[in-house]
Amino acid sequence: MQEYIIYSEEVQDAKSDNRPIVALESTIIAHGMPFPENAQTANLVEQTLRAHNAVPASIAILNGQLKVGLNEAEIAYLGEQGKHIPKISRRDLPIAIAQKSHGATTVASTMIISALAGIKVFATGGIGGVHRGATSSMDISADLQELARTNVAVVSAGAKAILDLGLTLEYLETHGVPVLGYQTKEFPAFYTRKSGLKVDRSIDTPEEVAAIMRAKWNLGLNGGLLVANPIPDKFQMEYTNIQKNIAQAIQEAAEKEIKGKAITPFLLGRIKELSQGESLKANIQLVLNNARLGAAIANAYQRIKPTA
């Protein structure tokens, strides 16, 4: 792996000292938010992890190398370049490496690189999933397959609310991915705490999550876990209003024939406009909330000295 992975000094020291590390994706920087909020949020998330006794490992591809741990200049570059930085998922990784290009890692590719680096906890905003209308389009995020095969626990505010959440949960069930609701019995819908859908199990403490991680992987049950962490109540959006905004954005995307990798950035950007910036504020808060929980889980997992 030395040919491909470059660790920041902070991450390398944490690995050497056996300290808890939490992975972070870079698509949320380049494609998930506008500049400068994207870079500011990324730095704030890293500060939040450090404040909660975990080392941040923001991950991206720069000049064909897998960077595990970014400095402020690299985060700022990704934020400024934005959509000029390609989104890199599993299928794109070997191409980006061979062609020595840049790339922003998705949930799927961040999980892959985290696993290669020995990092077991990854905090993000929301995972990708089954898109609305997927029964005819077959538009299903690679994030779900990665959760089925890669041994990393992903902390998120559920799946992005623009998706078909019911089918997303069905897909995860079929592929044996535990969906753990953190102090909730209901699967969160990104901007809101409710979706009307149930999680597999409600978990009350980071220690319980860590114990489930250890048991799963010690049993040889490969694949990740999804820890669904609802946005704090005071930051969630009004359910009816956000659903109207999502429906309008989806309709506009269909009229413009926007598909594939372009669909999620378009929808998130349009929802931000329709909500007059409220969705961006909620997005930032839920990411910070997931970072805090990710740090707690990483610390708990480190304490139990797993043999997996």
Q: Give the pLDDT score at 218.
A: 95
Percent of the chain's residues with pLDDT above 70: 99
Q: Give the pLDDT score at 64.
A: 97
**What tens digit of pLDDT does each residue of 172-187 get?**
999 999 999 999 999 9
Q: Give the pLDDT score at 306.
A: 55
Instruction: State yes or no: pLDDT of 36 exceeds 70.
Output: yes
Instruction: State yes or no: pLDDT of 1 exceeds 80.
Output: no
Q: Give the pLDDT score at 264.
A: 79
**What tens digit of pLDDT does each residue of 192-251 get?**
999 999 999 999 999 999 999 999 999 999 999 999 999 999 999 998 999 999 999 989
Output the 3-class SS for the chain. Answer: CCCCEEECHHHHHHHHHCCCEEEECCHHHHCCCCCCHHHHHHHHHHHHHHHCCCEEEEEEEECCEEEECCCHHHHHHHHHHHHHCCEECHHHHHHHHHCCCCEEECHHHHHHHHHHCCCCEEECCCECCEECCHHHHCCECHHHHHHHHCCCEEEECEECCCECHHHHHHHHHHCCCCEEEECCCECCECCECCCCCECCEEECCHHHHHHHHHHHHHCCCCCCEEEECCCCHHHCCCHHHHHHHHHHHHHHHHHCCCCHHHHHHHHHHHHHHHCCCHHHHHHHHHHHHHHHHHHHHHHHHHHCCCCC
**What tens digit of pLDDT does each residue of 43-85 get?**
999 999 999 999 999 999 999 999 999 999 999 999 999 999 9
Instruction: State yes or no: pLDDT of 136 exceeds 90.
Output: no
Mark whether 25 is an active-site residue: yes
Does 128 reside within a domain?
yes
Domain count within the chain: 1
Does 102 reside within a domain?
yes
Does 203 reside within a domain?
yes
Q: Give the pLDDT score at 179.
A: 98
**What tens digit of pLDDT does each residue of 142-198 get?**
999 999 999 999 999 999 888 899 999 999 999 999 999 999 999 999 999 999 999
| Local confidence band at 259 (pLDDT 50, 70, 90 cut-offs) | confident
Q: Give the pLDDT score at 305.
A: 66
Does 308 reside within a domain?
no
Show the domain range for 274: 5-303
Q: Which of 15, 87, 120, 160 is catalytic?
A: 160
Mark whether 160 is an active-site residue: yes
Q: Write down the pTM of the prediction.
A: 0.94
Q: Give the pLDDT score at 162.
A: 85
| Local confidence band at 308 (pLDDT 50, 70, 90 cut-offs) | very low
> Domain holding 241: CATH number?
3.40.1790.10
Q: Which of 25, 37, 186, 278 is catalytic?
A: 25
